[in-house]
Structure 1
């Protein structure tokens, strides 16, 4: 079954370009478009897509507010799109429930990959965004002066969290751990629940903030 996508952007050329890229994929289809935030809420409610490509900055209602309005009534996962590499947009988007974040000047293959990853239930961020989130987490740990706790995780869950923080997909983690992708998904769901986290993005930040993983030695674990 094709991934159902809604494209939201107030610029017609940008919106049309995204739609052409998505419709050119055999496993995706554009089921709706919107040129503003208010219209986006209506289209998502009507079409029930799997993924929304959502511009952050729009004149009538920004993408972050769209996310907040849809959070409790739609299962659609959002990839936020912007021309602005801005920390405030990133953090506000993640707080509102965004599953992905990409800059508009990225490659078309990155966009297609993002839709597939997010549709599969995983989270995806542009590398520059991930680096800043990690740097912020490490800075918070340094200011706190100690290593945060990761309570109640089994040894296998900690191993998988390290691999998640390194950016591996479920399939790649399954190969590394010699288990099925379904087993990996189950472990990730359990560790997210135990740590009170919403998604993989928050798990990456938690891994670095706790000291389980450090940037210069990605497989490091402080025992």
Structure 2
């Protein structure tokens, strides 16, 4: 698909809202996205069909339900465009206290598709570089020390090789700095959920770092999330 065609898909407010919602890494139904964007189900279905045809979304059908998720590599595109849009102009003021609280929570810790973002994600990335668990000497890569550390968490880096990059940067749209994405970033996020270090706040992208998580991030990476 051409650049112009891809840009046209995201130029619509409803389609953009769908893609931003799907950055939480989960599959949503058409009805859920319709309610989220405040549009009729028929309107949502039409927009989703265009996004699927354009390759930005992938769909799965289970029984009568149609689920959609961001296609491979589309998450990075949407997140990067969000960061670019905020750099181009100030973010609009929140319309309600609820929206203000949500934004504040997402800035502290959230998922960016399937990896950690917000101040938490940036702090983890900084700590990994400082402790030489990852290196940027000749492109971002996991070091031997990093492989050993990840193995201690139950993550086998060699088993992560597949169709996506093992490790890459992702520009954080609230912090304007990079956090860790790619297969390693996704595996670390998934393990943080499994170990009870983080848990979702409601149904959105915002995360709460648990007491166990605060201790783990401090002990494992010298990250003090209370600072």
Instruction: Decide: shared fold, TM above 0.5.
Output: no
Q: Work out which structure has the larger RCO, using CA pairs closer than 8 Å and 6 or more positions apart in sequence.
A: 2
Query: What is the TM-score with the length of structure 2 in the denominator?
Result: 0.31
Query: What is the TM-score with the length of structure 1 in the denominator?
Result: 0.32
